[in-house]
Amino acid sequence: MMATANGQDAVTVGYLALDPTEIGAIIRRCLPEGWRLELFRSGDAVKDYSRISYLVVAGSQLTAEDIAGAPLLRLVHKVGVGYDDMDLDALRARGIALAVCPVGSDEAVAEHALALALASLKCIPELDRGVRDDRGWPKWEVRGRLRLLRGRRIGIVGYGRIGRLTAELFSAFGCDVLVFTRTRPAGPAPAGVRFAASLDELFGECSIVSMHVPLSEETRGMVRRRHLDLLGPDGLFVNTARGQVVVEAELAAALRERTLGAAAVDVLTEEPPPKDLELLDLPNLIVTPHIGGGGLDVFERKVGFIVRNIENFHAGKGAAELILGADGRAEARCS
């Protein structure tokens, strides 16, 4: 490390993203005096991590090769809460810590799940296209397919922070909530919330199901055609978790054959998707580009948390929301 004018070691932080410019400006503004920031685009074939002590990562994969090229790296900090795109074995082998950032994401993703459900029930994209693109006024053609949200039974798969917030939002709209989780919390369920014994029970009893589980070997492909068919031709499947938690080809088939009424997703198995992905041709699908984590107002909060967390770690005070500690062991996350 180089020394700064005040005699302290200069610290270089890296930010890796598809387009790091906008959020990079926020990070640069929040860094302590004398700390430097280097920006990296995930699409670039060559990235020089040789000066990086702390790496902030948004929506990008970090490979064993990347980690090997960062000899000074001490901590990787995700901008969100997912870390299935991190090479955990390579981080463990080097004793590099990994932290996530739940700040802001929980509320933003929960709101996005609700927004997707409302957009589908109210046919918002179709109505917008009909007026603006077709210069029509499709009031009566679509009216018969509009649906109320109030009074519906909503299935929530996963009951961590995002799942709980999503349940609260749907409850506020007058919905009954049924939850499936493998780690049921202790104590009585909140008013209006019940727990399902199985995924089949949840899909069979609900008209809308919203996914809120992390991607793991246990959750990969957990939603199959039989579950989607249980939702039925009036059902709606919402996914703001990870594309891989549902078998995408089976989702496409259920939508195409109308055994599932509609789907609204913020995530796909491959992102960005291939141009010939059949799913994107289906009219009963709404899709957004994995943007549920929020906008600049959310990222201002996120960056504040991340920079404070890195400063604490650098000062030897430890870091919050660790997935891996510096000893390579899995950590219990603190909220």
The catalytic residue positions are 242, 271, 290
Pairing of strands 54-57, 153-157: unpaired
3-state secondary structure the chain: CCECCCCCECCEEEEEECCCHHHHHHHHHHCCCCCEEEEEECCCCCCCCCCCCEEEECCCCECHHHHHCCCCCCEEEECCCCCCCECHHHHHHHCCEEECCCCCHHHHHHHHHHHHHHHHHCCHHHHHHHHHCCCCCCHHHHHCCCCCCCCCEEEEECCCHHHHHHHHHHHHCCCEEEEECCCCCCCCCCCCEEECCCHHHHHHHCCEEEECCCCCCCCCCCECHHHHHHHCCCCEEEECCCHHHECHHHHHHHHHCCCCCEEEECCCCCCCCCCCCHHHHCCCEEECCCCCCCCHHHHHHHHHHHHHHHHHHHCCCCCCCEEECCCCCECCCCC
